[in-house]
Each structure stands twice: as C-alpha cells, then as structure tokens.
Amino acid sequence: MSESAVAVSEQARPADVAAASARRWWILGVVGLARLMVILDATIVNIALPSAQRSLGFSNADRQWVVTAYSLAFGGLVLPPGTLAPAAGPAASPAS
C-alpha cells in the first residue's frame, strides 16, 4: 500500500467515527422513545380499564384476564420482528 493511500484512509477515520457516534445517539433516542411509548400505552390501558369494566360489566377477576390478554397480544406482536431481524442481516438494520 502506498503512503498516500494510508494517509487518506487515516484521514477518513475520524469522519467514520463521528458518523457512527451520531448514529448511536439516534438509535438510543429511537429505543428510548419506543420504551416511553410502551410505558405510556400500559398506563393508558390501566387508567381506562375501570371505565371499560363498568361499561362491559365484568368483575375484578375478569379485569385481570383482560390485562393478561392485552399483555400477551402485545408481546406476541413485538417478538416476531425481533426474531426475524437477524435473518435480514446487518445491512437492513439502522445500526449498520
């Protein structure tokens, strides 16, 4: 490898590091926002549940089943994309 090629590749490195750092902060922000939405969603469900219980006429024991069913449905919709993501490879990931 010539000296000029080595010098050019060494100069390009700080820009790559800066881009990777910016990408990591962006990913952290997206993950943090997603976590906030999950917490907010669970809070809204728990606040709305007594009103739904009165309207639909189910007992406190049945209300626990509603929470469990909601959690299972939510988990069932979250897991498949996480399981299928490695099949897409790192090129499809926003972290790459």
Give residue-wise pLDDT tens across range 56-72: 998 988 888 888 888 88
Lowest mean pLDDT of 9-13, 19-23, 83-87, name the range: 9-13
Distance (Å) of CA 38 to CA 14, 73, 91: 36, 13, 27
Distance between CA 15 and CA 5 in Å, rounded? 16
Domain count of the chain?
A: 1
The answer to whether 30 and 12 have CB atoms below 8 angstroms apart is no
Q: Which range of residues forms the domain containing residue 23?
A: 3-92
pTM for this entry: 0.56
Distance, CA of 48 to CA of 28 (rounded, Å): 30
Higher pLDDT, 85 or 46: 46
